[in-house]
Amino acid sequence: MEQIILTGDRPTGKLHLGHFVGSLKNRLELQNLGKYEMYIMIADTQALTDNFGNIQKVRDNILEVALDYLSFGLDPNKTTIFIQSMVPELTEISMYYMNLVTVSRLSRNPTVKEEIKQKNFEKSIPVGFFTYPISQASDITAFDANLVPVGEDQLPMIEQTREIVRSFNNLYGENTLVEPKAMLPENKTCLRLPGIDGKAKMSKSLGNCIYLSDTSEEVERKVKMMYTDPDHIKVEDPGKVEGNMVFTYLDALCNDSHFEKHLPSYKNLDELKAHYTKGGLGDMVIKKFLIKVINELLTPIREKRNELAKNPDLVYEILRQGSERARNKAHKTLIRIKNAMGINYYDEK
């Protein structure tokens, strides 16, 4: 069977290193393997479910996220990049799926629960927000996606999608919808890259991110602020590697060739860690190395982004064409869904 991939991001901010290691790298590899039909969606409709009072933010970040994608190397000739709201079929499909999900099932979604707390929605949860896992099931199934590369926090959405698919197929016809699987990054550190402050997760609202579009000076400033080991005071002191953000980031980002180029007195990260643990290695050395690693990774992205940002019309044209292609695909699925449900009243039998 043909492998189809769909994934996406909410346009609520620029993409950061958490996205780099948690999803973008993976997507680029999948794209370049050339054996998948791949869709990447800018999930503006979903972003609006908790930003309905701030349309401008979502509007602005559609361009920012598109710039991040394109400068990272996602190629519109290989990957269909589109805007969720420009494929209205997704909304129509959601309406039919709503019948297959209970309020209590939605209330148990751990990611949604967590977000409700974060956003202080406890007292008044907007229905649109509460039901976004259903809309996410439409996003995935409209493209017959069988693989969904996502971060760990999205697993409950994939599980919800699988349940909807099973209910739908049971009720209206086996094999109407495709049951998707999640695809997680292999490197464990990449699952959930913490912020530079060592807090749970890199997140725009916590202000602890390094963005793909940060200048090299910003990268330097942020790495210098990074949380390391508070008990590692003098250079001679033995240092802790666990919970030390510099090592966490190195785990996620660096390889042996970075050592060869930027810190040749060590062969690899294990050697560096051993020295730090034993004592005699200062934070500045490891921070300077991390700055070089990050800037080596981000410089080409930054340059391409600056070029592309000069021509937003071109970027919107790419999104327009991608959305049209996506719409064609989703439309076929919608017809299949409606036929399976018998919502084809005018068709002659």
What does the binding site for ligand TRP look like in residue numbers (CB under 6 A)? Answer: 6-10, 41, 43, 46, 136, 139-140, 148, 150, 154
Look-up: residue for tokens 């493209």? Answer: 143
C-beta closer to ligand TRP: residue 112 or 281? 112
Look up residue 274 and give its two tokens.
């051993």
The dihedral built from the CA positions of residue 10, 12, 17 and 18, taken in this order, carries a sign that is negative
Shortest Å, Cβ 128 to ligand TRP? 13
C-beta closer to ligand TRP: residue 150 or 298? 150
Shortest Å, Cβ 136 to ligand TRP? 4
Shortest Å, Cβ 24 to ligand TRP? 12
Look up residue 303 and give its two tokens.
């340059």
Report the distance separating Cα 165 and Cα 319, nearest Å: 28
Shortest Å, Cβ 183 to ligand TRP? 10
Give 149's strand partners.
Answer: 183
Shortest Å, Cβ 282 to ligand TRP? 38
Q: Report yes or no: 142 and 330 within 8 Å, Cβ to Cβ.
A: yes
Shortest Å, Cβ 225 to ligand TRP? 26
Indicate the pairing of strand 3-9 with strand 79-83. unpaired
C-beta closer to ligand TRP: residue 12 or 295? 12
Q: What is the Cα gyration radius of the chain?
A: 22
C-beta closer to ligand TRP: residue 148 or 281? 148
C-beta closer to ligand TRP: residue 45 or 244? 45
Amino acid at site 170:
N
C-beta closer to ligand TRP: residue 142 or 291? 142
Give 3's strand partners.
Answer: 36
Q: Which residue is nearest to ligand TRP (CB)?
A: 43
DSSP state of 73: T
Report the distance separating Cα 122 and Cα 51, nearest Å: 16
